[in-house]
Amino acid sequence: MTMARWIGLALVLLCGGVSIWWGASTGLTWFGGPLDFQAIYSATQCLLQHHNPYVENLYVNLPTTFIFIAPFAMLPLGVAQALWMILLTGVFILAAFLMWKIGASYAPGVSLFLICILLANSEVLFATGNSAGIVVGLCVVAVWCFLQERFVWAGILCLAASLAFKPHDAGLVWLYFLLAGGVYRKRALQTLMLTVVLSLSALLWVWQVAPYWMPEWQSNLSAISAHGGLNDPGPASVTGRTAGMVIDLQAAVSVIRDDPRIYNPASYLVCGALLLAWSVRTLRSRFSRRRAWLALAAIVPLTMLVTYHRPYDAKLLMLAVPACAMLWAEGGAIAWTALMVTTAGLALTADIPLAILVIFTRDLSINTASLSGQMLKAVLTRPTPLILLLMGAFYLWLYLRREPERG
């Protein structure tokens, strides 16, 4: 590698290292260690001891989670946490490194800038030990394997694990390969078959131990999604004024009208129209790597908007870095627009900027009697879904207007 590449690698590792150190140091101050890992570890231990894990603590993860956590749950908590964090940091940093390398082949400076923003703002992920770090990392590694045509079976395994763990994170990325046709559709179907095997195995295990797990799971999901609950996208949510706020489109619309009968249909209508246009274009297009990066840059922001997600899920936006670098290399107004939109998308899903935003808007008083006041409040207090919508629409516009290319 050239000296510039070595310096770039050092900055990538430095930014990642700062987040890992800061996040892990914070997580270790909590009783029992990283909170999100504690939840899945305890629930899996409960299942291993032949008890229903959905009876207590409002546990809502899918049954497929237990297959992946079972090896850790057989170990003492301290050892399990250490191994989990090693896996999380390793997969996540590897994924970021791969996207930096792809982007650097088009525009090294832009690729490095964007990846450093993302890595330097991942403290919450490492503090909580949230599985999103592994899910996002595996999904990104799978995309690299498929598009670079290297270690394809490893890519299939990674995407299947990502889908089984958190289908709402990796689902639309998988859909791209299904719609792209050719060998990519074959890989998507192979991934689906493996995911089905994993899911059925997990369901059989849970049903054998707790035949009535589904009503308890649905009850837990309803409880935390209710008005004012943990997963409520509305302003009354207990996390609505924190850096861990829900970032789907419902969160922005709810500021204008905090009624699920309004914000759910409105969000589904907007996202559905964009997804339909994206799907039709993908089906009708001849595959090329350049178009693949544009397609992924369009679908990842929309993934965050369709249904429940939090800022740590949005680390999947690293898949937009190659497309932005590619556009920057072309120059012109589109290049600058791509850089500004992508930077804003990464910054407004980043831990430190979100924390600053919460501090400055905590005591903000806006007259919401008029529609203009409500819209202003949505822009100032819930900018993340709006910038994700802009980012998705921008890349979709480019994806729709560009003619198919080879290579």
Could you tell me the mean pLDDT of each successive run of 10 residues in the chain, 407 residues long?
A: 85 94 90 90 94 86 94 95 96 97 96 96 94 97 97 97 96 97 96 96 94 91 89 87 89 92 95 97 92 97 95 97 97 96 96 91 78 86 95 97 60
pLDDT at 403: 65
Q: Is 1 exposed, middle or buried (0-12, 13-18, 19+ CB in 10 A)?
A: exposed
pLDDT at 315: 97
pLDDT at 23: 92
Q: Are 103 and 325 within 8 A, CB to CB?
A: yes
pLDDT at 404: 54
Nearest by Cα to 19 from 246, 304, 308, 312: 312
pLDDT at 407: 41
Q: Are 95 and 316 within 8 A, CB to CB?
A: no
Quote the CA–CA distance of 29 and 49 in Å, as a whole number.
28
CA dihedral 12→166→52→40, nearest 10 degrees, is 10
pLDDT at 263: 94
Quote the CA–CA distance of 19 and 29 in Å, as a whole number.
16
> Domain residues of the chain, as ranges?
3-223+245-400
Residue 311: strand, helix, or coil:
coil
pLDDT at 371: 83
